[in-house]
């Protein structure tokens, strides 16, 4: 029962931080410092990634009509636009997919620690504030997600490579990149959400495969923890995505930049005192 309650907490943290530009991986690493799941190391490594499946499902549910190229209610042009959107999403995830496959183990061994998380939180917090300040009077060139071309998609995809460093934030790096190249906040946020579907499915598949090849068997409690974590992250993600899309229509991301800096400093102070 205690482990399932912990799974609920992890699901809440995942559902909130996956979509806000504040780093879900960083928060889960930090949460592990205070609320440790009594599981094998192999399972915990897999759990932190596969729990994202619940969050992915929330995106599919909320944007199903926009993402469905087989919708009979769409015109021929609308179905074509939907296919083009998917092709651009696939193009955008190629860079981070290559880097992730080649360096996943190395990054997990060397970068998954409190110092790296804190530094990334602070660095990208400052970046958000500076970018928003520089762009506050500029009108974005691309205001709709369908207007994102292959050039913009590939550039956003390159920014997603930065998110492989824990504490950076996948949504944060892609949205920040979108703003820098002239894509509006709402369009950039939507495209970031759509990129998450194949990105996180691929990452979850790799982690599951590694777990199965490790020879470690999951216990009944561990399976229950994973299921509960995914369900909670799905429910929380539904609420957070809706709220974020409303927020970005009228607000900048500067507030998230301030949050990142404050959290990063607190993390550094805490672990320095330890």
pLDDT tens profile 36-75: 888 877 888 788 888 888 999 999 999 999 999 999 999 9
- Please give the pLDDT value at position 130: 94
* Neighbouring C-beta atoms of residue 41, cutoff 10 Å: 9
- Please give the pLDDT value at position 205: 86
Q: What angle do CA 242, 135, 170 make, to 5 degrees?
A: 45
118: closest CA among 47, 186, 37, 30? Answer: 30
Segments in the chain below pLDDT 50: none
- Per-domain residue ranges for the chain? 2-112+140-245
- Please give the pLDDT value at position 147: 94
- Please give the pLDDT value at position 153: 97
- Please give the pLDDT value at position 82: 96
Question: Residue length, the chain?
Answer: 274
pTM over 0.95: no
- Please give the pLDDT value at position 272: 85
- Please give the pLDDT value at position 189: 93
């Amino acid at each position: 029962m205690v482990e399932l309650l912990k799974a609920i907490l992890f699901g809440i943290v995942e559902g909130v931080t996956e979509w806000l530009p504040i780093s879900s991986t960083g928060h889960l690493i930090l949460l592990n410092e205070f609320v440790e799941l009594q599981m094998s190391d192999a399972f915990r490594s897999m759990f932190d990634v596969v729990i994202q499946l619940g969050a992915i499902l929330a995106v599919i549910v909320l944007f199903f009509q926009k993402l469905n190229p087989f919708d009979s209610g769409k015109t021929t042009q609308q179905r074509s636009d939907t296919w083009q959107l998917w092709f651009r999403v696939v193009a955008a995830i190629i860079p981070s997919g290559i880097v992730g496959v080649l360096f996943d183990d190395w990054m997990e061994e060397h970068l998954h620690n409190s110092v790296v998380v804190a530094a990334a939180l602070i660095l990208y917090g400052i970046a958000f504030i500076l970018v928003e300040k520089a762009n506050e009077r500029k009108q974005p060139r691309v205001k709709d997600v369908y207007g994102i071309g292959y050039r913009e998609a590939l550039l956003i995809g390159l920014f997603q490579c930065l998110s492989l460093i824990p504490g950076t934030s996948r949504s944060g790096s892609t949205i920040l990149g979108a703003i820098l190249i002239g894509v509006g906040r709402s369009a950039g946020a939507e495209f970031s959400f759509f990129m998450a579907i194949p990105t996180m499915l691929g990452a979850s598949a790799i982690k599951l495969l590694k777990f199965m090849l490790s020879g470690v068997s999951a216990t009944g409690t561990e399976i229950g923890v994973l299921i509960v974590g995914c369900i909670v992250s799905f429910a929380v993600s539904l609420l957070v995505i809706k709220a974020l899309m409303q927020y970005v229509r009228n607000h900048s991301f500067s507030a998230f930049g301030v949050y990142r800096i404050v959290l990063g400093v607190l993390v550094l102070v805490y672990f320095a005192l330890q």
